[in-house]
Amino acid sequence: MKKLLISLALLCSSSAFANTIHISPDMRIGPYTGSGISGGGIQIGLADTFGLDAIYVSYSHTSAEFLTYKDRLKTYRIGGQYQFVSVPKMALQLEAGVVEYEGSKDNIWGTHTTYTDDTGASISASWVVFINDNIGFRAGADFNYLDRNKTDFGQNISAMVSTGIVFQF
């Protein structure tokens, strides 16, 4: 995470540091139906940079349990926010990066546990509506591609819903 943030800072010109900071915490629901709030994440970056409303690095951590399955997903992504409408201020966020998966499965009697892990691709899209110049609300979806033979999901794609608050100051 530190390497991504340092790389982002080095890419920006010195005049970009006069711009505003973009911070957005969120909560996540998924990857199982009925798993409820199972994780959270954060976006940290700069607003009004490279012709975008914001450019940022994103991290999320999700842990979910379903019967005898326990799964943990960590995502590391780079994203951008593009403002479509100025009144009311609305924007689209797109992110791409990697996902790390760790899972375990107990047998019914709890005498044997199998462990799995994998690394794959992760994308996210969110819609942001600002209530003023500094605060906005976002809702979106995350999609992670993992090899189903190396996970306990049973399919290659895992999906989550996320919602959060955007602060630009």
How do residues 110-169 score in pLDDT, each as one tens digit?
788 889 899 999 999 999 999 998 999 999 999 999 998 888 777 889 899 999 999 998
pLDDT in tens, 46-60: 998 888 999 999 999
* pLDDT at res. 90: 95
- The CATH classification number of 2-7+34-161 equals 2.40.160
Buried b (16+ CB within 10 A) or exposed e, 56-88: bbbbbebebeeeebbbbbbbbbbbbbeeeeeee
Q: How far apart are CA 136 and CA 128, in angstroms?
A: 6
Model confidence at 105, in pLDDT bands (50, 70, 90)? Answer: confident
Q: Which residues pair with 44 in a beta bridge?
A: 23, 57
Alpha helices (H) in the chain, listed in sequence order: 2-11
Q: Which of 9-13, 90-94, 152-156, 158-162 has the highest mean pLDDT?
A: 90-94
Three-class secondary structure of residue 34 per DSSP: coil
Residues contacting residue 128 through CB under 8 Å, at least 6 positions apart: 81, 90, 91, 92, 93, 136, 137, 138, 166
Model confidence at 15, in pLDDT bands (50, 70, 90)? Answer: very low
Q: How far apart are CA 38 and CA 63, in angstroms?
A: 6
Q: Show the tokens assigned to 16.
A: 């970009």
Beta strands in 107-149 (DSSP E): 113-130, 135-145
Average pLDDT across the chain, whole number: 87
pTM of the model: 0.83
